[in-house]
Structures are given as structure tokens and as C-alpha cells.
Amino acid sequence: MTCSKKTGLYIHIPFCRSKCSYCDFYSKIESESTVSDYVSAVISEIKSRERFSQYISGNLLIDTIYFGGGTPSLLSCDDFSRLMRAIRENTTVTDDCEITVECNPSSVSSQLFDTYKKTGVNRVSIGLQSAIDEERKILGRVGTKKDVTKAIELCKKSGIDNISLDVMLAIPNQTEKSLCKTLSFCNESGALHISAYILKIEKGTLLYDTKKELNLPDEEKVCSLYELCCDKLFEYGFQQYEISNFAKDSFCSRHNLKYWTLEDYIGIGPAAHSFFGGKRFYFPPDTKLFIDGIQPISDGFGGGIDEYIMLNLRLSQGIDLDEMSRRYGIESVTKIKEKAIEFIPDCLLEIHKNRLYLTRKGFLLSNTIISELIN
């Protein structure tokens, strides 16, 4: 398939300095030489696109690039520059391309931010999680609130103002008061985007082993923390555009919107997923295998109606029923409306101007509601 459609590019950097206690992302603590070998493997992939050849051919037109992890800010200035050079030399990067790097506040410097600026990075996502150091400690985050403040200052000084902060809800011992402090920190920092995730303690994480001893909020408390977060961020001028994402003005994450609106994106690196030309494929979560040249694995066709419903309902604007009718036929709209009726009296779903969307209360029960709509 020849590509002329605008495509998102995701580069996974699977390395961290230490493992956070709640983390179940694919990331490892590796030596500097492995990091460098890995960057070389990503570059040769971008240059040859040998492994993607069965899925993609032709020139790639890239309008969003996202370096996620792991900890992309662990890459040296040289490694990051050669990665960006390879992308620019081997694809067509649009002039208005959104280029995001996820940063850990404990692994940044003014040189690194200057390198980002020089190479075209225009958006930085910083892992705050909490502005309360005791809460950061429980999460196993390296560094303190002071380090986050410093990272934000350095980032702005380099000329990158589009900053997103990650916030965690339902941390053990978190209170309404401590969450308000974190959100007020976000507001004062001048961040333009906030991602606020509810902590889920997954099997295999460090927190999982001590789960019983933790002072975890019950369901009611989690709901009240989420609602408080939405209210406070609204008061500070952030519009909620997705279950967990809030932005000022038009500073939504254009890259992440591609995932929810079923646009094309290519993921490079272990555990990175792609959706391109209606097909899904992914690399297995193994850095060594990636360096050795493993092929991406097919995950079948994507973009079916269930996926469409599930992803679009994550967005505040919900499903455009006219578009759904064009894609999947008028019967699909009739069916979903019939099922939605059950949730409308309880103010969990709404239909307005031919859009079907979850309310804030509905967002909290999104899994249950979506699976009912899909069944």
C-alpha cells in the first residue's frame, strides 16, 4: 500500500533508570551500550522499513511524532539528534508536525531541552503524578516536586511552552486536599495539557505485592477524586476532551487523538502497536528480539464497529452518528440508539445534535456501558 495519508509515528524507548512501583509498561533498566544499540536498530528500521514492508510501502507523510516509554529523556543529545535526523531524511515530516517527547524530571537538562528545540520538538510531556513528595515516594517516582518545577523551567527556557503534565488519582493516602494541591501546582506551572489517570494496581507490579497494606480509596472516594479533578481543571480553564485528558485552548494531543479516531499510526520498538491501512500489527515486548531484527506480528484487521464505538466514546464529543451511519450503515445507528436509551434517564449517556456521548458520570462507568452497547 502506498501512503499519502497523514500518519502518526510512535517511537518506544523501553528504558528507565528504576522501576516505579505501579508501572506495568514495557520498560527495563539497561546499560548505556544497549540503549545505543537500540537507537541504531530503530534508525536502521526507519531507513530501510524492511520489517514493515509487508504492511507499508511508499513515502510516509508524518504529521505527529511521539517518543514514549519507558523514559525517552534518558536518550543522550546525540542519540536523540540522530534519531530525529533519520526520521526527517527518510519520511516527509509536515511543517506543522506535532513532536512530543515524554520526559522524566530526574533525567533532563538544559542541553537536552535545547536539543529538543533544535530538532523540532514542540511538545513535552512531564511525569508529575503528584506534587506531594510522600505520594511520589509511594509511587516510586525518582525525584521531588522541586525537580519537576526545575524541569518545567528548563523546558520553557528552551522555548518549548506546550507542556503536558501527568497526574495520578487514587494514590494510597491521597486526600481531596492533597489532590487540590497537585492540581493547583499544575495550574501555576503554566501547563497547557493534563493527563489524569486513576491508579490501577496491576499484577506483577511492586505495589501489587503490598496491596493489602495500602490505604487505598474505595470506589466512592475514587469517583469523588475524579469529579474533583474535572471540576478543578475546568475552573483553571482546561476543557476535558477525553476520559483522562484535559487541554487549554486547542492544545489537545494530536497524536493521541489519532488512536481514538482510528487514524493511521506506526509504532516502532518493542511493545509498540501500529494501525495502518485498516490492519493492526505490533512488535513483541522484547528489546533484544527487536535489536536482532524481529518482524512485527499481525494482529488482524482493525477499525470494526466495536472498536469504533469503544474508542469514540472515550472522547467528550462522543460518536458522530452521521459518520457512524456512513461507515457502518444506518442499522448500526438504530441499534446503538436502542441500547443507549437504557442509560439516558440515569444521565450516563446523552444524545445531542446527532452525537452520542458519555456524561462525566458515564465516564466513570465507561467499561460497563461500552460493553453493553457493544453486546
Residues found near ligand SF4 in the complex (CB under 6 A): 16, 19-20, 23, 25, 27, 69-71, 104, 127
Minimum distance of ligand SF4 from residue 340's CB (angstroms)? 36
- Hey, what amino acid is at 84? M
Q: Which lies closer to ligand SF4 via its Cβ, residue 127 or residue 362?
A: 127
Q: How far apart are the first and last CA of the chain?
A: 33
Query: Which has the closest alpha carbon to 108: 147, 137, 64?
Result: 147
| DSSP calls for 189-249 | HT-SEEEEEE----TTSHHHHTGGGS----HHHHHHHHHHHHHHHHHTTPEEEETTEEEST
Q: Which lies closer to ligand SF4 via its Cβ, residue 7 or residue 71?
A: 71
What order do you get walking across the sheet with 355-358 strand by strand?
319-320, 355-358, 349-352
Q: Which lies closer to ligand SF4 via its Cβ, residue 25 or residue 328?
A: 25
The whole-angstrom separation of Cα 148 and Cα 189 is 10
Minimum distance of ligand SF4 from residue 296's CB (angstroms)? 21
Distant-in-sequence, close-in-space partners of 286: CB < 8 Å, separation ≥ 6: 270, 294
Minimum distance of ligand SF4 from residue 127's CB (angstroms)? 6
Q: Which lies closer to ligand SF4 via its Cβ, residue 3 or residue 196?
A: 196
Minimum distance of ligand SF4 from residue 12's CB (angstroms)? 10
The whole-angstrom separation of Cα 266 and Cα 309 is 22
Q: Which lies closer to ligand SF4 via its Cβ, residue 202 or residue 231?
A: 202
Minimum distance of ligand SF4 from residue 165's CB (angstroms)? 14
Q: CB neighbours (10 Å) of residue 58?
A: 10
Instruction: Please confirm whether the linkage preceding 318 is cis (ω < 30° from 0).
Output: no
Minimum distance of ligand SF4 from residue 105's CB (angstroms)? 10
Minimum distance of ligand SF4 from residue 246's CB (angstroms)? 20
Q: Which lies closer to ligand SF4 via its Cβ, residue 107 or residue 240?
A: 107
The whole-angstrom separation of Cα 36 and Cα 247 is 35
- Hey, what amino acid is at 251? F
List the grid coordinates of 298: 499481525
Q: Which lies closer to ligand SF4 via its Cβ, residue 19 or residue 156?
A: 19
